[in-house]
Structure 1
Amino acid sequence: MKRLLALIALALAQPAFAQSATPEQRLAQMRERVERLEDQDQIELLQATYGYYFDKGLWTQVAALFSRNGRFEYGQRGVYIGRERIRRALLLFGPEGLSPGRLNNHMQLQAIITVAPDGQTATARWQGMVMLAEPGVNGQWGVGVYENRYVKEGATWLISSLHFYPMAQTDYDLGWMRSATQMEGPSALFPPDEPPTEVYRSYPAQYIPPFSYPHPVTGQPIELVQPRDDIAGRE
């Protein structure tokens, strides 16, 4: 109840409704604003749930968060399409359920969620912090960006496309200045359904994942000039 009241208060704090609107129209406008805020809240909950499941290797539960034809793309591993293909692809990160000594933390921070006016689709950008470890191998630190898409089926929000861009990864002991671990490519054991949608290199390269939302003040798309990279094909 407190959350709903906070959403309503936020909706009312928006610019005043048109003075020429009837009470019924103003009520409908307020209801729509509250619904979009509730959509944002549900998407944030969905993404947080993904993070908790992914961290613990609960691959079956992770795959169930995707739409029927959902897409999963992690770095340069390629794209896996559909819940069952996604579930099997997640096994490349380790067996179902974390074994002793393994660490697989992927945190989602700095959410910017944009819900379409009709409330049926949405996009979101997140900052991802990564902590990895496995027995007999030194730990890894990492950071990346999520650019995701969501779809509402009935009253339930699902992930329609999850794309994680690893931006930098390093050995825990050596640190960023002495060690920069590059991304893994497509698996030969379980090849992806499609190649990576974007080819790039992580740190020390400075690739910026494209923004799915316009500048909040100017309303203009955010134009990016990516660094030259002969391996990625950018001259």
Structure 2
Amino acid sequence: MMIRLAITAALALGLSTPAIAQSAEERLASFRDRVERLEDQHDIEVLQATYGYYFDKGMWPEVADLFARNGRFEYGARGVYIGRDRIERALLLFGPERLAPGHLNNHMQLQAVIRVAEDGQTATARWQGMIMLSEPGANGIWGVGLYENEYVKEGGTWKIADLHFYVTGMTDYDAGWMRSAIPMEGMSAIFPPDEPPSERYRAFPSNYIPPFSFPHPVTGEPIEVVQPRDDLSGRE
């Protein structure tokens, strides 16, 4: 808000002739749009960071409330859950609500690339994910993955429209990446998803790269990803 007021005041002081006024009005409108998009990016970054903090601690109702009415949640190869109620129940597959002693469920989100649509109503973002997991009676797990998410503004508030976390690798804490590759969990028989996984791929030691939702920032060209061969997905 202070940024908007400062820009408005500075341009208003510079208006002296109709021609200059017209140019200044156009510049003001352009600056106003840019400031609004920056504010949108900030709000989305806070939204996604908040998701991470709630998810880490098993705050499943609070996590579900971050999603849009018809929000979609997809984690690895578990399938897609649609709607806040379904998402909240599906999150119990990751551990008890509020987590129990001995459970660790840390999901850090880094390297954000956020793109807001020109109308300021939708957005996409890609994040790098780092995972640390543990539960009683089992060894700890390291993990990595990528988020390709979509967001929508509902009632003036940014919410998650589609969260897709691609698990790209998981390993035993002690054994390490060169001696251990833990496969992704599939669809739950206890609480099946609403839709099957939207993509079929293998995690590490394969090197699947989720498609980029944004173009190259310098050339402006779409980023073409060459995926590894994989008989599971039909890439021969």
What is the TM-score with the length of structure 2 in the denominator? 0.91
Residue aligning to 2:16: none
What SS does the aligned partner of 1:22 have?
helix
Deviation digits for residues 56-113 of structure 1, max 9, x if unmatched? 0000000000000000000000000000000000011111111011100000000000
Residue aligning to 1:25: 26
Contact 2:3–2:35 under 8 Å retained in 1: no
- Work out the CA distance in 1 between the residues paired with 2:32 and 2:126: 26
- Work out the CA distance in 2 between the residues paired with 1:123 and 1:130: 22
What SS does the aligned partner of 1:146 have?
strand
Residue aligning to 1:219: 220
Unaligned runs of 5+ in 2: 8-19
User: 1:21: how far off?
Assistant: 5.6
Residue aligning to 1:104: 105
Residue aligning to 1:234: 235
- Work out the CA distance in 2 between the residues paired with 1:188 and 1:139: 24
- Work out the CA distance in 1 between the residues paired with 2:149 and 2:22: 36
- Work out the CA distance in 2 between the residues paired with 1:5 and 1:168: 42
Equivalent runs, 1:1-235 vs 2, <5 Å: 5=3, 22-235=23-236
What SS does the aligned partner of 2:140 have?
strand
* Equivalent AA in structure 2 for residue 119 of structure 1: G
How many equivalent residue pairs? 224
State the identity %.
Answer: 73
- Work out the CA distance in 2 between the residues paired with 1:89 and 1:173: 29
Deviation digits for residues 199-229 of structure 1, max 9, x if unmatched? 0000000000000001111111111111110
User: 1:153: how far off?
Assistant: 1.2
- CA RMSD for the aligned pairs? 1.8
* Equivalent AA in structure 2 for residue 42 of structure 1: D
Unaligned runs of 5+ in 1: 10-18
- Work out the CA distance in 2 between the residues paired with 1:173 and 1:191: 32
- Work out the CA distance in 2 between the residues paired with 1:145 and 1:22: 43
In the TM superposition, structure 1's runs of 4+ consecutive aligned residues that sit over 4 Å from their partners are none
Residue aligning to 1:12: none
- Work out the CA distance in 2 between the residues paired with 1:232 and 1:105: 30
Deviation digits for residues 26-66 of structure 1, max 9, x if unmatched? 11110110000000000000000000000000000000000
What SS does the aligned partner of 2:55 have?
helix
Contact 2:37–2:120 under 8 Å retained in 1: yes
* Equivalent AA in structure 2 for residue 121 of structure 1: T
User: 1:5: how far off?
Assistant: 4.6
What SS does the aligned partner of 2:174 have?
coil
- Work out the CA distance in 2 between the residues paired with 1:162 and 1:145: 11
Residue aligning to 2:15: none
* Equivalent AA in structure 2 for residue 135 of structure 1: P
